[in-house]
Structure formats: structure tokens, C-alpha cells
Amino acid sequence: MSENQNKSIALPNVKRGIKPFFAGVKRELKKVSWPTYQETNRLFGVVVSVCVLLIVVMGVLGFAFETLVHLITRTGTGA
């Protein structure tokens, strides 16, 4: 057997409890660089604009493909 297989792997201490976990979460959230109100509004506008643009593009493509399929599969018997 190789030497690497004989060594045990150190596992995190799971039984420390929930209080230290949430204390660590609180510490980490204090390190986060939160956006300003103006930056949040600007980014919200960008997200909404991109969503509206994608809705319009998908609608136009759907209509174009539907029309194309209708023209291709039309039987020529007249309607």
C-alpha cells in the first residue's frame, strides 16, 4: 500500500453547533461590498431591458418560423 492511503483525511468538526455557523455567516456578510441604491436601480433597469429585448426577439423569431412553416406546408388547394 502506498503511504498516501495510510494517512487519514481530516474532516471538519460537524458537531460545533449552529450558533458558530451563523456567527461565521454574519462575519462573512460584513465583508460583502453591497451596491448603492443608485447602482441597484441601474442594474435593475439593465436586467428588465434585457428581458424585454429577449421577449421581443423570441416573439419575432417565433412568428417568423410559424409563418415559414405555414408557407412550406401549405397544400396549394387554395383556401
**Dihedrals φ, ψ of 3, to 5°?**
-70, -30
For residue 18, the Cα-to-chain-centroid distance in whole angstroms is: 29
- Give the rounded percent of residues in the chain with a pLDDT score beyond 70: 75
**Residue 37 grid cell:** 441604491
pLDDT tens-place string over residues 3-29? 556 666 665 666 678 899 999 999 999
- What pLDDT shows up at residue 65? 94
Domain ranges within the chain, ordered by starting residue:
16-73
Tell me the mean pLDDT in the region 49-68.
Answer: 97
79 pLDDT higher than 60: no
- What pLDDT shows up at residue 4? 58
This prediction's pTM: 0.57
End-to-end CA distance of the chain: 81
**Residue 34 grid cell:** 453591497
**Dihedrals φ, ψ of 10, to 5°?**
-75, 125
3-state SS, residue 1: coil
